Copies of this chain bind each other. A is one copy, B any other.
């Protein structure tokens, strides 16, 4: 019997090296275990129930999701779910209440409006939901902006019969430096977290959970006193941005887009069939150019993108690919690249040993829809 290899895949194709992925999962699980932190990975990166199950098997205590589609799909995997997204809108609340009947769900929010909607829905459904208060740690996206605001919201949660105050949540996505202690950003973050915890303690609302984390700062989480759990997503696969910022080695990049060279007509370049609809278009912001790079030749970037064309800049290399040759591209941002694919081929070496549907994309039909 012949084992299928990646040579059999139509391109562009999403491929994950399972050996590298498992090492990434084990490394993060080991770190969190050593420091007494709970690991609740964000599944937005892979959106695949089977990979979420691997994360739970390798040490995660539960899963984090952002969309209700993700929540519903991941509800079938097991483990406790955290919806790290304000549950605003009737359809979100309806889906959440259906899910909460047989899955332990906690929810983060940042407004009295979101809280009122959730509280009313929980009361109607007769379920009890644990609620975390999100505060803005500097990302300026979501989150209350003062400890007093966090206390006020926590009080309302604690007073609501259908809700339970669970603690605090923040997202330090603005800290993009892998050695944040050098920039002082981590010290600022630690002081912020301490202020919020202290204010809640003073109000007799000591937070049982303080949920933080994100791949770039994940391995510095123990330097932020009070944090009880982290929610990294990217670390399962890593990507070019994570490598360029020094938060992983290039060899830790588990996900690539397999592509075929389809034209070499324009001198100095080669065109592959992975464009912005296979790699996404996201710059690396100050640490390099291009929209991805070749796994085996990281000095060759994808310098340009059309929807179905990626332009390899060959100026930094003597390598000249032939038409029909295949390459593997590490995307800049893996979470948005994966989201463009329906399925990920899991490989060991070149052998395909598994298929992982990216089941929790927006609107995709899925097992539980």
Which of chain B's residues have a CB closer than 8 A to the CB of A130? Answer: none
Residue A335 interfacial (CB < 8 Å): yes
Q: Is the CB of A276 within 8 A of B336?
A: yes
Q: Once bound together, how far apart are the Cα atoms of A142 and B275, in whole Å?
A: 13
Residue A280 interfacial (CB < 8 Å): yes
Which of chain B's residues have a CB closer than 8 A to the CB of A339? Answer: 277, 307, 340
A154 to B: closest C-beta gap in Å: 15
Given contacts A89-B10, A143-B265, contact A335 B307 (CB under 8 A): yes
Q: Once bound together, how far apart are the Cα atoms of A281 and B335, in whole Å?
A: 13
A225 to B: closest C-beta gap in Å: 25
Q: Is the CB of B278 within 8 A of A362?
A: yes
Q: Is the CB of B265 within 8 A of A88?
A: no
Which of chain B's residues have a CB closer than 8 A to the CB of A306? Answer: 141, 173
Residue A192 interfacial (CB < 8 Å): no
**Residues in A243-284 with C-beta less than 8 Å from chain B:** 260-267, 269, 271, 273, 276-278, 280-282
Interface 9-mer from A110-118, A156-164, A196-204:
A110-118
Residue A308 interfacial (CB < 8 Å): yes
Which of chain B's residues have a CB closer than 8 A to the CB of A365? Answer: 342
In the complex, per-residue mask of A302-341: 1 if CB is within 8 Å of any chain B CB, else 0: 0010111101000000000011100000000001100111
Q: Is the CB of B364 within 8 A of A323?
A: no
Given contacts A88-B324, A324-B113, contact A140 B363 (CB under 8 A): no
Cβ 8 A contact of A266, one of B11, B89, B136, B264:
B136
Interface majority SS on A: helix, strand, loop or mixed? loop
A57 to B: closest C-beta gap in Å: 25
Residue A74 interfacial (CB < 8 Å): no
Residue of B nearest to A336 (CB): B276
Q: Is the CB of A308 within 8 A of B89?
A: no
Residue A31 interfacial (CB < 8 Å): no
Copies of this chain: 2
A325 to B: closest C-beta gap in Å: 10
A314 to B: closest C-beta gap in Å: 13
Residue of B nearest to A112 (CB): B323
**Residues in A337-369 with C-beta less than 8 Å from chain B:** 339-343, 361-365
Which of chain B's residues have a CB closer than 8 A to the CB of A266? Answer: 136, 140-143, 145
Q: Once bound together, how far apart are the Cα atoms of A44 and B267, in whole Å?
A: 27
A230 to B: closest C-beta gap in Å: 18
**Residues in A74-121 with C-beta less than 8 Å from chain B:** 85-86, 88-89, 91-92, 110-111, 113-114, 117
Residue A185 interfacial (CB < 8 Å): no
Q: Is the CB of A44 within 8 A of B362?
A: no
A98 to B: closest C-beta gap in Å: 13
Residue A301 interfacial (CB < 8 Å): no
Q: Once bound together, how far apart are the Cα atoms of A327 and B4, in whole Å?
A: 47
Cβ 8 A contact of A281, one of B10, B136, B280:
B280
| Top 5 A-B residue pairs of the complex, sorted by shortest distance between their CB atoms | A342-B363, A113-B323, A88-B262, A10-B91, A142-B263
- A-B pairs with beta carbons under 8 Å apart, 24 shown: A10-B68, A10-B91, A11-B89, A44-B307, A44-B308, A85-B273, A88-B273, A88-B323, A110-B265, A113-B324, A117-B324, A140-B266, A140-B269, A141-B304, A142-B262, A142-B266, A142-B309, A276-B336, A277-B339, A280-B281, A307-B335, A307-B336, A341-B362, A341-B363
